[in-house]
Amino acid sequence: VTAAVPLFERLAIIGLGLIGGSIALAARARGLAAEIVACDPQVGSLAEAIASGIIEQGYSSAATAVRGADGVLLAAPVRTNLRLLREIAPALRDGAFVMDLGSTKREMVAAMAELPPHARAVGGHPMAGKEVSGLSAAEPGLFNGATFALCRTGRTGDNAAALAEALATGVGARPLWLDATAHDDLVARVSHLPYIMAAALAHAAAPEGAARALAASGYRDTSRLAYSDPDMMLDILLTNAPSIRAALASATAALAALDELLEATDEHALRAWMEEARRRR
Amino acid sequence: VTAAVPLFERLAIIGLGLIGGSIALAARARGLAAEIVACDPQVGSLAEAIASGIIEQGYSSAATAVRGADGVLLAAPVRTNLRLLREIAPALRDGAFVMDLGSTKREMVAAMAELPPHARAVGGHPMAGKEVSGLSAAEPGLFNGATFALCRTGRTGDNAAALAEALATGVGARPLWLDATAHDDLVARVSHLPYIMAAALAHAAAPEGAARALAASGYRDTSRLAYSDPDMMLDILLTNAPSIRAALASATAALAALDELLEATDEHALRAWMEEARRRR
């Protein structure tokens, strides 16, 4: 399906990894932008993307990439996006629409409020990912049916909000407006905590030797996220520490409660603990 | 593939749920037994299994079901298997082969040593399962390629060991002999701990309201095991508490370490914690 009128004349995607690459592929497939350019530190990714017709131009400088662009997407890890936002701010075309695609929103939304008043900016977070990263893992259907969280900033007028929704819908996702703090609290529980539990499981149970033969699909699925990209996860942990620590405290309390019940051989309460977990899932 | 000579003239399967039902289906498909009978508290399951030709006879009494059987498989939750073993012991045919299919082995292996001296017994644990239970979830290929842990007991001679291996291979699995204590320590880490981490995640993060929209495949996979059958899991927790508490302590220590690093904003050590989890996975 190609959009009748592209949302952007020139869309600049800063960071051409799994998310940026998938957005580029989806935008190209659906005709969301007349021209797509990208910036990435990996020159090979840019060359590959140009060769396969995903983007028209590649740049090593973000400020150069955004010049003349009416749409700018920040698709690097969160702290890199924060640095890039400061870097591109003076180079933004008048009225440019800027959206980040990072996994935490509080710091970014605060930073976007400091953009030049002419800029339009929305915080975005498509809830899709894989435990593998990089342009080679990108796919145009990555966001199909996924929730696309959107957060208003000090630079979000009605027009920018409508454009953000059109972009989210355009790549196949379902837009969901959330306050940045509510977003960060929620994803701490349903996204960052699952990573942490998977990683703690990997710390406690490396499948080596006989353990490898005994590890079945249960171990595999529960520990899958332990393989997440450390660069991406580090930025998430560092920009959402308070919410993540609160979620972690809930999980640790549940584990401590279970351990006490095991020590006491409290059959009735053990069953209740398990039934409650099952009910909540 | 039908075996040239069945391993058993009459195979009695005690407990016709996911595991017992799948063993029955695999034994039937591969001709491992001339006759298959079963015992289950759910009369409807027995009737269904007879109607679909999976078993020849159904019984509500385990002692009656094993009468005349040269092969007996205990496929109920662990503590029920322990009770059933005592119940069937006096009714076992001379030289009958008994194997349980429970998830923990220490208590069962000790109990099997108390069987009449004529009996042959091996502890078994096929490493396959689903988060759904019951006969309706059973499938003949459930054990294909799975590891089938086997534990010697005071009633395991060379002949019984060979028969246990032939049965494991016959249902498509790969037999792996382990000491019962080593088995229980290993599965505490790669099987029971994954359940516990998934359940603790469900306790800490129920996907309700906006959280449901934000929960993606990461939450789904990591929490999948929280839906495991509480009856089965309760018996596992109660018959493997020391090994499980040791595994739980390792996971809790990893979580506590992470929390300290988050509090200290120790970027270098946070990255090391994540890299280590990724390497172990």
Q: Do A186 and B211 touch (CB under 8 A)?
A: yes
Find, in chain A, the residue whose alpha carbon is nearest to that of B126.
Answer: A214
The pLDDT confidence band at residue B223, using thresholds 50, 70 and 90, is very high
Residue A154 has pLDDT above 80, yes or no: yes
Kindly determine whether residue B281 and residue A226, on different chains, have CB atoms separated by under 8 Å.
yes
Contact A215, B200 (CB under 8 A): no
Q: What is the mean pLDDT of residues A183-211?
A: 94
Of A86, A98, A90, A128, which is closest to residue A13 (Cα–Cα)? A98
CA pair distance B106, B99, nearest whole angstrom: 14
Give residue A244's pLDDT: 98
SS3 (DSSP) at A31: coil
pTM as predicted: 0.90
Residue B240's pLDDT band (boundaries 50, 70, 90)? very high
Q: What's chain A's average pLDDT?
A: 95
> Comparing A27-41, A65-79, B199-213, which segment has the lowest mean pLDDT?
B199-213
Average pLDDT of the residues in A39-45: 95
Q: Which pLDDT band, with edges at 50, 70 and 90, does A4 fall under?
A: low
Calculate the average pLDDT of chain B. Answer: 95
Whole-Å CA distances, B153 to B75, B105, B116? 18, 10, 13
Of B200, B210, B218, the CB nearest to A191: B218
pLDDT attached to residue B262: 98
Contact A203 B250 (CB under 8 A): yes
Contact B258 A248 (CB under 8 A): yes
Using the structure block, give the residue that is written with the tokens 């030797």: A209
- Say if residue B183's pLDDT is above 90: yes
Q: pLDDT digit string (tens) for A92-143?
A: 999 999 999 999 999 999 999 999 999 999 999 999 877 678 999 999 999 9
Query: Per-residue pLDDT averaged across B142-148, rounded?
Result: 96
A-B Cβ pairs (cutoff 8 Å, strict) = 287
Q: If we measure between CA atoms, which residue out of B175, B173, B102, B100 comes closest to residue B142?
A: B173
Residues in chain A with CB shorter than 8 Å from the CB of B236 are: none
Which residues on chain A are in Cβ contact (under 8 Å) with B263? 241, 245
- Residue to mutate among A132, A174, A197, with most B CBs inside 10 A, is A197
pLDDT above 60 (res A3): no
Closest CA to A143 of A112, A176, A120, A121: A176
Rg (CA), chain A: 21
| Site from A131, A151, A196, A261 to mutate, B interface, most B CB atoms within 10 angstroms | A196
pLDDT given at position B220:
93
What pLDDT sits at residue A2?
53
Write the DSSP symbol of residue B89: G
User: Mean pLDDT, to the nearest integer, of B266-271?
Assistant: 98
For chain B, percent of residues with pLDDT exceeding 90:
90
Q: Grade residue B2 by pLDDT with cuts at 50, 70 and 90.
A: low
CA distance A244 to B156: 51
pLDDT of A59 over the 80 cut: yes
Arithmetic mean of pLDDT, A154-173:
97
Q: B129 to chain A: which residues are within 8 Å by CB?
A: 216-218
Mean pLDDT of B33-62: 96
Residue to mutate among B147, B222, B233, B271, with most A CBs inside 10 A, is B222
Q: Which residues of B touch A178 (CB under 8 A)?
A: 210
Contact B226 A251 (CB under 8 A): no
pLDDT in tens, B168-177: 999 999 999 9
Angle, CA A177 vertex, CA A174 and CA B209 arms, to 5°: 80
Distance from CA of B53 to the nearest CA of A (A): 30
Which range has the top average pLDDT, A207-216, B225-234, B243-252? Answer: B243-252
Report CB contact under 8 Å: A237, B193: no
Q: What is the ipTM of this complex?
A: 0.90
